[in-house]
Structure 1
Amino acid sequence: MTATMTDVREHDDQELVALLRVPVRSVLTERAEGIRRTLPPRPSDVRDQYEWLRSLDENQARRAALLDRLDALCGHLSGCPNPGYDPADPLPAEALEEADGFTSETTARLAVEYRRTKLTAAPERRAPWDGRGIVSGAR
């Protein structure tokens, strides 16, 4: 395999967002559509949605929850921030996590590079640490 300039060249984080946003959104949209096809049609009325959700079996309910998550991430990537995702974050880690394993090799490499740039970003540009991973009482 021959290395090309795009394989070797470093990208800045904004360029990586531009390169990743469309393929990640496309993968999430495809996954959401696949799940949507396997579920009974979701009513538009809120009360009917509640009854619809109650009518689902456990597996369908899990897929419906994943569908909601994927739809929220697709909306966020399309410029409509959703609660739970930082409006200033153009490419949430959750979107990359949901796309992992479903993207091309090139997109996967770009995602790794993007994650690395996020980890090495200046402290004022890093996402706030949420405290996960610390064992309570550890010294």
Structure 2
Amino acid sequence: MKNPLVPGDATRPHAEPLQCRQCRSDDHLDLETIESLEPHAGDLMVRVSYSCLACEVPYTHNAAFHDVAAVLNRNGSASGLLQFGGRYFHCGEPMQFTKSSARSVYAPMTTEVVEDGLLEVYLKTRVIECRCGFRMELPA
């Protein structure tokens, strides 16, 4: 069945193999981000960013979704933080928002008493947390 969101003359995005070009393997890949692509003709593809832990080389390109799923489904493949579809995952589970705060980005350059005339800048943040206790602050 034809996708009604995709025009008949839509181009098919090109998918590159999900592997390190130096060691020619997908055994040591650390997936960092997975982003959806605009509706397109052909197989399901995503934009993926990853690094080879053996060669320390980063990559970003379009890849077939089934190739990404195969890497994600390996035992022990989730080594750190993964951003997928606007959510963050750690320990293989989605992280949950816990609280919001405002942080000052002003840091005094001296330990002496500073006059009150200095302007401070505040950054609103939201804290996300994993079941294991890992926390991260994101701009609100």
Q: TM-score, normalised by structure 1?
A: 0.24
Structure possessing the higher radius of gyration over alpha carbons: 2
Superposition TM-score, scaled by structure 2 size: 0.24
Q: Which has the higher contact order (CA 8 A, sep 6+)?
A: 1
Q: Which has the higher helix share?
A: 1
